Copies of this chain bind each other. A is one copy, B any other.
Amino acid sequence: MTTWRARYCLNLENLPYQTVYVEIPDIEALAKKIGAAPTGLKPDGVSPKYTIPIIHDHSMGAVVSNSPTIAAYLDKTYPSSGPVLIPAGTMALQLAFTDAVNKAFEHLRVPLFYVDMVVKMNDRTTVYTREKLAGVYSLTAPEGEVREKMWATTKENLGKMNKWFEGSGGDFVMGKEPCFADTVISAFLWLIRSTVGRESEEWKDIAIWNDGRWGKHLDSFKPYEIVA
C-alpha cells in the first residue's frame, strides 16, 4: 500500500517514470546497490531497515526512499509540476496525519490485505509474507460476525476521519487541491477496493459512508491511478 502513495504523487505531478517491481526479500540488496537511504531500524533496534517505495531520478542522479520524503523531493525538484504535495511548514502535520491514517486501517492489514495476497498470489513476496505471519495470525479470510465486526471498526474509524474534513474548505485534506495526506487515504481506499472488488456490496457500502466521501475521494484520484 505504501508504494501507491508514491505512485499517486508521481502521477499528480504528471512526471514520467517507469516502475520496477521488487520482491520483498530483494529490497535490501537493491536499495544498497542504488544507494537508497534506510527508512528505519529492524526489530533488533540497530540494523538499518530498507523499504519501498524508492525513486531513482536518473536525470538528477538522486535516489530517494520513503513516500513523504519522495513527495517533498518532487515538490522541490519539480516545483512547476502539479499541486504542492507538502505545502511549506506542513511536513510534521502530514507525517502525523499518515500515522493516524495507518492506525485507522491497521485492523485490515492482516485479515484483508495480507490474506488477499496470500490467497491470490504465490510470488516470493507472498511466500515471504506467509512464512512471516504463519503461526502468528490466522491467514484465512474472516467471515460472518468477525467480518462484520471488521467493517464496523472500519466504519467507525472512517467516521472519525470524516470529522477531520469538517474544517477543510474543500473535498481534499487541505482544501481544493490534493496534497500528500490525500494520497495516504486514497492508497488505502484503492487497496480495499481492489481486495473486495469494485462491484462487491462491501465496497459499495464503504463508498457511500459519510455522504459518499470515500467513494468520491477515490474517484477523484482515478486520473492518477496510471501504472507506468
Contacts of A68 on B, CB cut-off 8 Å? 167
A92 partner residues in chain B, CB cutoff 8 A: 164-168, 173-174, 181
A93 and B160 in contact, given A72-B167, A99-B100, A167-B72 (Cβ under 8 angstroms): no
- Copies of this protein in the assembly total 2
Partner of A169, one of B89, B103, B160, B161: B89
| Cβ-defined contact, A90 with B174, below 8 A | yes
Chain B residues near A212 (CB-CB < 8 A): none
Could you tell me which residues of chain A, from 82 to 140, have a CB within 8 Å of some CB in chain B? Answer: 86-87, 89-97, 99-101, 103
Task: Give 1 or 0 for each of A60-90: 1 = CB within 8 Å of chain B CB.
Answer: 0000000010001000000000000011011
A96 in contact with B89 (CB, 8 Å)? no
Chain B CB within 8 A of A48 CB: no
A175 at the interface (CB under 8 A from B): yes
CB-CB under 8 A from A173, the residues of chain B are 92-93
Whether a CB of chain B sits under 8 angstroms from the CB of A33 is no
Using CB atoms, name the residue of chain B closest to A102: B100
- With A and B bound together, what is the CA distance between A10 and B218 in angstroms? 39
Complex Cα distance, B169 from A92, in Å, reads 9
| Residue A163 is within 8 A (CB to CB) of chain B in the complex | yes
Most buried by B among A68, A92, A161: A92
Would you call B160 and A91 a contact (CB within 8 A)? no
Whether A100 contacts B96 in the complex (CB less than 8 A), given A72-B167, A167-B68, comes out as yes
Among A93, A101, A103, find the residue whose CB has the most chain B CB atoms closer than 10 A.
Answer: A93
Q: Give A44 Cβ to nearest chain B Cβ, in Å.
A: 16
Closest-CB distance, A51 to chain B (whole angstroms): 14
Least Cβ distance of A129 to chain B in Å? Answer: 24
Q: Could you name 21 residue pairs across A and B whose Cβ atoms are closer than 8 Å?
A: A68-B167, A72-B167, A86-B167, A87-B89, A90-B93, A91-B168, A92-B166, A92-B174, A92-B181, A93-B93, A93-B97, A93-B164, A93-B181, A94-B167, A95-B166, A95-B167, A96-B97, A96-B101, A97-B97, A99-B164, A100-B100
